[in-house]
Every structure is written in structure tokens, then in C-alpha cells.
Structure 1
Amino acid sequence: MTLPLLTLLLAAVLVVAALYSSVGHGGASGYIATLALFSVAPAAFKPTALVLNLVVAGVATCIFFRAGHFSWRLFWPFAVTSIPCSFIGGYLSLPDHIYKPLVGLVLVASALRLSFHSERKTEPVRHPSMPVAFLAGALLGLLSGLTGVGGGIFLSPLLLLLNWGKVREVSAVAALFILVNSAAGLLGHLSSLQQIPSFVPPLAFAALSGGVIGSYLGSARLPVAGIVKALSLVLMVAGFKMLLV
């Protein structure tokens, strides 16, 4: 890869990280789409996205947690089953012609539904039942490991649409959910004797910079309505990228 092309790739990763981290996401689907646009080998998609997810989700978790938005009660029922399932998914491989259209359709459907969502202050937040949370966590964890997308991009719309949490609370929970599942998925990937590409470290630095910017804006500066719109836009763009790239 030439220096000008690498510079453009670094800039794209920084922008993706900033946008996704503003809503508590690691940005894996955006990184996968970006790597595809830059003609990077598909075998590098999952490990690269998982590493960048770890960096950005780690930053987002710290910033949203310090801002007081994190809810352990909402987080743990989903995480307890998602972590082992994410490891299994990271170990396994799914053919591109199956997982990319599937993930793309789910993202676009979530974006369309979420675009009509607004946080209603008069409607109390409901907490999911344990069996439902365990099942959802297992499914999202497996999908996270198989595709390398972290799982938060599916968890956020689920929590918001079912009124299981407030917007910034959901962003904080999604950030840690992505962090633990990306770590589990990456461990599963490495345990199957697959490697991390050599160009990942500079991309990780770009993702770290974008993650700091986006998390700071999302945790305190951006209005709630803006965060919901940003999340919907992110889901829509990522979905079409997965379907078309």
C-alpha cells in the first residue's frame, strides 16, 4: 500500500471511529466497509476490526463511565452469555457471501426502525427479563464473533426500541459490551491459529484519536436527539456498505 493511500485509510478510520464512538460503538462495521473500499484482503477484515473495536470501545467505556451513564444492571445479563459465544464465533469462519448480506440487512432494518424512535421522558424505562437478556446476549455474542462487528451495533437499537434504557445509558452499556465481546472474539480468532495483520498498529492509533473525540462529544456535548439520529445514520451507512461492498 502506497503512502498516500495509507494516509487516506488512516483518515477514514479516524472519522469512522469518531462517528461511531459518539454513540458508544467501536465502529467495526465501518472499518470493514472501509477496508473493503481500499481493496484490503477479506481475510484481514475480522482481526483488524476487532482490534480497532478494542481500542475505541475501551476509550468510549472510560469516558461514558466517568460521565455517570453506565448501568451494571442493564449490562451484565447480556454480557454473561455473549462473552463465551463471541469466543466461539471468533474461532469459527462464516463465508463472506452469507454473513455480509445478513449483517447488512439487519443493520438497515434497525436504522429504519430507529429513525422513528424518540426518547419519551414520561414513559418509564423497563428492564428485560433474565431469560430474554441471556438469549439475546448469546445470539449477539455469536454474531459478534462470527462477523467481527462487536455486537453493540445490534444491542443499541434493541435496548432503545424496547425501552430498556435511556440513550446515553445505552451508549455506555454498548461500549463495554463491544469491548468484552471484541476481546473474546479476538481470542477465539487467534486460538484458531490466525494472525493480526502488520498494518493494524497505525490504524489503531488513528482509531484511538477518533475514539477520544467522538466519545467526548457523545458523552456530554451532543444532544440526545442528535445521538439517536447519528446512530440511525451510522446503522444505515454500515448496512448499505455491507450489502454493496
Structure 2
Amino acid sequence: MNLIIQNIELILLFFGIALLYSSVGFGGGSSYLAILTLFGIEFRTLRAISLLCNITVVSNGSFQFYRQGFLKFKKVVPLVLFSIPMAYFGGRIPIQEEIFFIILGFALLLAALLMWIQKSLQMSSVSMNTETWWFNGLIGGSIGFLSGLVGIGGGIFLSPVLYLLKWDEAKVISATASFFILVNSISGLAGQASSPEFQIDLLLALTLMASVALGGLIGTYVGTKRFKAVTVRRATAILVAYVGVRILIKYIG
């Protein structure tokens, strides 16, 4: 009970993030990292908690997309086949605190930019052959490595890229991003756990997982009726960009 009282603000923020992100098919990893950073949580614990919360949220989302027939495994397999080992490798790499936060800062700024312009990307006219294994494997592997390194699922990077490439219809892209987040989060977490430097505050992690589980359930079933996807993305883009700038000022400035 003391743990809940001491971290009530953090718990409520995680609940809200899960509710909003799940309403558009994401897990919330970038914002979990952003909030944990603002709260001064030890950096070796940040990535593991973020990935555990991601897994909690997108497990249900991926299952719902699968039930509705939006997961096209023939197209998804090349993405995750290369992203899974790369996310594991990224999660396993030992990294100094200063270097980690510099990479995280730039990654958050990139994520914020992609979230902000995603609507424009949906209306783009780029036309490429996205059916080839090597092309999808290159996309999945690159995003998977970055995701494992910083501790997110990668959906916020993957989704805008797939929209830009006219990869498929919106629901299929959301389903793909959700599943991509799930497998990369599991793989990245496995990579972290295999590292000698791995550590986690298990009680805090379980408390936050319970919070995002509730938020994710509500967001999946109700959120889409109350929140416009573009509003959610741009609101979270502002938060993510703000934290990214603060991190870079602290570790570069």
C-alpha cells in the first residue's frame, strides 16, 4: 500500500498513457520512458519497466486485431523475423548512462516528429514494392535494433514508415504495429535480462503493469470512440519531444 501511495502520480500517468496509446494500437513505450526519466527512475530499470508495460498493453490489442482478421502474417513475418534478433541484440548491449540518455533523447525527438506528421504521411504519394522479404526485413531489423537499445517496442517508428510506403490499409498497419511492439518488447526484454548489468524494481514494475493493464483494456474497448487518433498522437508527440529536449540539454548542453 505504501508503494502505491508513494507512486500514485506515476501510476495515474501510466494508466492515462496506456488508455490513450491503446486506443490507436500502440503500447506507450516512448511515453513510459519519458515519464520514468522525469521521475528520476534509475536508468538501468527504465528500459525493463517500459518493455514490461508495453507487453501488458499490446498483448490484448494484438489479440483483438487477430480476432478481427487484420493481422496479415504473410506480410508481418518478414518484419518480425529480422526485428526479433535485432531487438534482442540491442537490449543486450551494455551501455553507459550518458550514452543511453543521448540516444534516448534523439530517439524521442524522432518519435515525436513521426507521430506529429503521421497524418501527412498517410496522404503521401510514395509508391514502392513493399512485398519483398529483404525490404521488410531491413525495415524491421533497423527499427528492432533501436527499439531494443532504448527500451521501446518500435511501433511509433514503424507505423509512420508503413503509412509513408502505402504498405496496407490503416487497420492492418495498426495491427502490424501492435504485434511488432509485442514481439520486439519480449525480445528486447530477453536481451536485457541476459546482460550482467540487468536490474529491475520488481514491485514497482508489477504495480505499473497493473495500472497499464487496466488503462489498456479501457482504451482498446472504449477509447477509440472518445479520442481522435491524430489528437492522441500529437498530444503525446509534444510530451515526448519535451522530454527528449530536456534529456539532450542535460547530457549534451
* Band of TM-score, shorter chain: 0.7 to 0.9
How much has 1:238 moved relative to structure 2? 2.0
Question: Which residue number corresponds to residue 24 of structure 1?
Answer: 25
User: Aligned pair 1:175/2:178, yes or no?
Assistant: yes
Deviations 1:111-141 (A, max 9, x none): 3431424469xx9997443221111111111
Question: Which residue number corresponds to residue 143 of structure 1?
Answer: 146
- Segments of 5+ residues of structure 2 without an aligned counterpart are 248-253
Residue 126 and residue 5 in structure 1: after superposition, are their counterparts in 2 closer, same or farther (change >3 A)? farther
How much has 1:38 moved relative to structure 2? 1.9
1:100-119 correspondence to structure 2 within 5 Å: 100-118=104-122
User: Aligned pair 1:13/2:44, yes or no?
Assistant: no
| Partner Cα distance (2:49, 2:71) in 1 | 27
How much has 1:17 moved relative to structure 2? 0.7
The AA in structure 2 aligned to 1:184 is S
Question: Which residue number corresponds to residue 153 of structure 1?
Answer: 156
8 Å Cα contact 1:64-1:70 kept in structure 2: yes
| Partner Cα distance (1:181, 1:230) in 2 | 23
| Partner Cα distance (2:213, 2:173) in 1 | 21
Of the structure 1 ranges 90-99 and 57-66, higher mean CA displacement relative to structure 2 is found in 90-99
How much has 1:236 moved relative to structure 2? 4.1
How much has 1:104 moved relative to structure 2? 2.1
8 Å Cα contact 1:57-1:178 kept in structure 2: yes
- Segments of 5+ residues of structure 1 without an aligned counterpart are none
Question: Which residue number corresponds to residue 80 of structure 1?
Answer: 81
Residue 48 and residue 171 in structure 1: after superposition, are their counterparts in 2 closer, same or farther (change >3 A)? same
| Partner Cα distance (1:146, 1:244) in 2 | 20
Residue 162 and residue 124 in structure 1: after superposition, are their counterparts in 2 closer, same or farther (change >3 A)? closer
1:1-245 correspondence to structure 2 within 5 Å: 3-94=4-95, 95-118=99-122, 127-193=130-196, 194-198=198-202, 199-217=204-222, 221=225, 226-245=228-247
Residue 125 and residue 165 in structure 1: after superposition, are their counterparts in 2 closer, same or farther (change >3 A)? farther
| Partner Cα distance (2:28, 2:80) in 1 | 19
| Partner Cα distance (1:182, 1:7) in 2 | 25
TM-score normalized by structure 2?
Answer: 0.85
Identity across aligned pairs (percent)? Answer: 31
| Partner Cα distance (1:222, 1:73) in 2 | 32
Structure 1 segments of 4+ aligned residues over 6 angstroms from their partners: 123-126
Residue 170 and residue 37 in structure 1: after superposition, are their counterparts in 2 closer, same or farther (change >3 A)? same
| Partner Cα distance (2:67, 2:128) in 1 | 22
| Partner Cα distance (2:245, 2:119) in 1 | 20
How much has 1:160 moved relative to structure 2? 1.1
8 Å Cα contact 1:90-1:146 kept in structure 2: yes
| Partner Cα distance (1:231, 1:130) in 2 | 29
8 Å Cα contact 2:55-2:182 kept in structure 1: yes
Residue 239 and residue 71 in structure 1: after superposition, are their counterparts in 2 closer, same or farther (change >3 A)? farther
Deviations 1:158-179 (A, max 9, x none): 1112211222211111111111
